[in-house]
């Protein structure tokens, strides 16, 4: 079975499973220039996805068209100025007509090339968004379970949705406009200096002030946008938990708490969002005021030059047009500051996940697992989820081919951890694990897990039909095989009584079935997988006695002839095991058949007798 089957099992003891996700430590205060560094670093990576990776040729074509479009646009003020000069000098109608035609041609060039340039940029933007979203979803499937232990489901869903959505807005609305704005400023500045350097200096006088304001806004609002994306992720996680756990909230009469907690988190998003957007939007009125000041400066300086006979009135008209065209892209840059900063914050969270590497990886010379019976050996195995904090300590045991091995012990003893390292969801610290004489560390994970079937306490079903849930177990499985497996698992009868039988669609996690019915389907799914070895992790702990009997019958058929590891709190479940491993504090303190362990009157004896007396041994939590 795949790692997807390892669903969360609630809070576990420190020895029994990976530690639950902890609240993030408070982020240290960043140096003053960290926001600028983030903007450069993550902004460059995002834009690289859009214009690189095989898209460079299309981007170059779009840029050429954009330059031609801007050239057509900036011709209009020049043509207007020349037409004014013709009129003021009482030139011929032919000259005036020529400039009017030139203006119409420039406008047509601008419109046509802008259309095709924007179409290319829009295609690059949507393609980049698709690439980012699919890459993130694919990358998550490559990460080890330790990564998912440290992050909530809501946080990851928020990265796939909210963060990618913020980046998509940046791609679709900001990138093209920013490129156009920068090109327009550069081209206009060059033309202005060619026409009249004095008026050019006057027109560009306010640009440094605009750049300073942009830098200040970025420094102030950048961290605020980063905090906002973090708060949105937390809010999404809270919503995911409260929706999934709605039944618990209702049963515990905690609706008022849920409403209050939801409002508190939403208020946090609102507060930080208001601050971040206020700071970014503050740039707009300041930039607008400076833009108007720019036009005033051009008019005043131009009028003085005309009076002194150092410039023609047409040139002044042209420069007023250029000042307006210069103001427009600068205002656009100001308006897009919020979108850019939010995208940078989202990009940072996105790439923090993308830069994660799986902690459990195949060796360069890893070989496929060759099953020859299912002989499992643990030799002095130590393991820790967190370095320096051992969970399993010097565990040694031997499971012969076809044997049923029971595993029991108090909550948090390390039972599930033994299974997690047997399936190599985590790598051990020291010691050796062998299956049929092959060291797990030398095998490919895929070939190993293909041979091991897993039935967990929490029966996980996808929001799909019953048949598709069964076929999920093995690529190429037929419907006939699935029906036969359902019969073997005692699930066929209730499945055929469902509204659409095997075509009945399960709600999320199979909530429209009982716990026992879900478990029968997961047993049938394990049968479809045709595993060579089997792991049962508390597979019957949440069902009634009658259903347990049906499930046990299915499990007996599933375990027949297979090396099986059965974790159980109900010790009667593992009583027939060839060997029982008694785990306490991360160590196997006893092992042997049931009768032998009972005769020894050790810890297992105390556990077993406590289930009849209803009282656990001193200091032990069952």
Place of tokens 């929490």: 458
pLDDT at 31 over 70: no
Residues comprising the chain, all counted = 622
- Which strand ranges, in their side-by-side order, compose the sheet holding 533-537? 452-455, 533-537, 563-567, 404-408, 579-584, 587-592
pLDDT (mean) for 578-592: 93
Q: What angle do CA 406, 549, 7 make, to 5 degrees?
A: 60
Distance between CA atoms of residues 583 and 392, nearest Å: 9
DSSP state of 59: H
Least confident stretch, 58-62, 85-89, 507-511: 507-511
CA gap 77, 106 in Å, rounded: 10
More confident residue, 390 or 245: 390
Domains of the chain (ranges, CATH numbers): 33-354 (1.20.1560.10), 360-451+533-544+557-617 (3.40.50.300), 463-530 (no CATH)
Query: What is the C-alpha to C-alpha distance for residues 168 and 255, in angstroms, rounded to an integer?
Result: 35
Copy the structure tokens of residue 240: 């995911």
**Mean pLDDT in residue range 363-381:** 92
Rounded Cα gap, residues 166 and 136, in angstroms: 15
Q: At residue 248, does pLDDT exceed 50?
A: yes
Supply 334's token pair.
């100001």
Transcribe 165-185 into DSSP letters: HHHHHIIIIIIHHHHHHHHHH
Reported as half-sphere exposure (CB side, CA atoms, 13 A), residue 25 has a value of 3
Q: State how far the Cα of 90 lies from the Cα of 84, in Å rounded to an integer.
A: 10
Using a pLDDT cut of 90, give the percent of the chain over it: 20
- Rg, the chain, Cα only: 34
pLDDT-derived band at 178, boundaries 50, 70, 90 = confident
The Cα 21–Cα 385 span in angstroms is 12
CA gap 611, 573 in Å, rounded: 12
Report yes or no on whether pTM surpasses 0.85. no
Nearest to 417 by CA among 255, 587, 563, 280: 587
**Is the pLDDT assigned to residue 600 strictly greater than 90?**
yes
Per-residue pLDDT reduced to its tens digit, 459-472: 778 888 899 989 98
**Tokens representing residue 169 in the block:** 């807005």
Q: Give me the percent of the chain exceeding a pLDDT of 70.
A: 82
d(CA 315, CA 492) in angstroms, rounded, equals 88
d(CA 604, CA 596): 10
CB 419 within 8 A of CB 445: no
């Amino acid at each position: 079975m795949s790692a997807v089957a390892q669903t969360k099992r609630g809070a576990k003891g420190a020895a029994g499973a990976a530690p639950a996700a902890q609240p993030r430590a408070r982020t240290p205060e960043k140096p003053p220039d960290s926001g600028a560094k983030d903007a450069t670093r993550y902004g460059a990576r995002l834009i690289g996805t859009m214009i690189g990776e095989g898209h460079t040729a299309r981007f170059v074509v779009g840029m050429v068209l954009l330059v031609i479009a801007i050239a057509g646009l900036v011709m209009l003020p020049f043509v207007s100025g020349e037409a004014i000069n013709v009129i003021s000098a009482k030139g011929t109608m032919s000259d005036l007509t020529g400039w009017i035609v030139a203006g119409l041609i420039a406008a047509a060039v601008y419109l046509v090339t802008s259309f095709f340039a924007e179409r290319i940029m829009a295609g690059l933007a949507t393609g980049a968004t698709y690439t980012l979203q699919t890459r993130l979803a694919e990358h998550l499937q490559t990460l080890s379970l330790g990564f998912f232990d440290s992050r909530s489901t809501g946080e990851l869903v928020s990265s796939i949705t909210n963060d990618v959505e913020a980046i998509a807005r940046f791609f679709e609305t900001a990138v093209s406009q920013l490129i156009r704005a920068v090109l327009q400023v550069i081209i206009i500045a060059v033309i202005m200096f060619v026409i009249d350097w004095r008026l050019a200096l006057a027109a560009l006088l306010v640009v440094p002030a605009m750049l300073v304001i942009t830098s200040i806004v970025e420094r102030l609002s950048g961290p605020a946008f980063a905090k906002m994306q973090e708060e949105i992720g937390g809010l999404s996680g809270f919503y995911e938990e409260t929706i999934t756990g709605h039944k618990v909230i209702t049963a515990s009469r905690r609706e008022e708490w849920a409403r209050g907690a939801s409002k508190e988190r939403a208020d946090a998003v609102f507060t930080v969002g208001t601050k971040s957007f206020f700071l970014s939007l503050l740039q707009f009125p300041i930039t607008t005021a400076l833009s108007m000041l720019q036009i005033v400066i051009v008019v005043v300086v131009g009028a003085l030059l005309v009076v002194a006979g150092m410039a023609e009135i047409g040139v002044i008209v042209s420069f007023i047009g250029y000042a307006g065209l210069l103001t427009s892209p600068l205002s656009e840059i100001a308006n897009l500051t919020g979108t850019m900063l939010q995208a940078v914050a989202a990009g940072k969270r996105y790439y923090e996940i993308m830069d994660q590497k799986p902690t459990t990886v195949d060796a360069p010379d890893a070989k496929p697992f060759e099953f020859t019976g299912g002989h499992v050996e643990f030799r002095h195995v130590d393991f820790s989820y967190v370095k320096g904090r051992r969970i399993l300590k010097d565990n040694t045991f031997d499971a012969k081919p076809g044997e049923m091995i029971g595993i029991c012990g108090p909550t948090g003893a390390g039972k599930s951890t033994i299974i997690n390292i047997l399936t190599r969801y985590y790598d051990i610290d020291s010691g050796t694990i062998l299956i049929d004489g092959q060291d797990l560390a030398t095998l490919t994970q895929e070939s190993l897990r293909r041979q091991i079937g897993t039935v967990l306490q929490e029966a996980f079903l996808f929001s799909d039909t019953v048949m598709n849930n069964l076929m999920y177990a093995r690529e190429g499985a037929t419907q006939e095989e699935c029906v036969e497996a359902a019969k073997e698992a005692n699930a066929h009868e209730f499945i055929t009584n469902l509204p659409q039988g095997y075509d009945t669609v399960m709600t999320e996690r199979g909530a429209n079935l009982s716990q026992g019915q879900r478990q029968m389907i997961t047993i049938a799914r394990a049968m479809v997988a045709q595993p060579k070895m089997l792991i049962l992790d508390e597979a019957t702990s949440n069902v009634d006695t009658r259903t347990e009997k049906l499930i046990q019958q299915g499990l007996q058929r599933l375990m027949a002839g297979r090396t099986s590891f059965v974790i159980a709190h109900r010790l009667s479940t593992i009583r027939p095991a060839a060997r029982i491993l008694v785990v306490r504090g991360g160590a196997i303190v006893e092992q042997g058949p049931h009768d032998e362990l009972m005769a020894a009157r050790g810890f297992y004896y105390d556990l077993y007798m406590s289930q009849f007396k209803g009282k656990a041994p001193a200091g032990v939590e069952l």
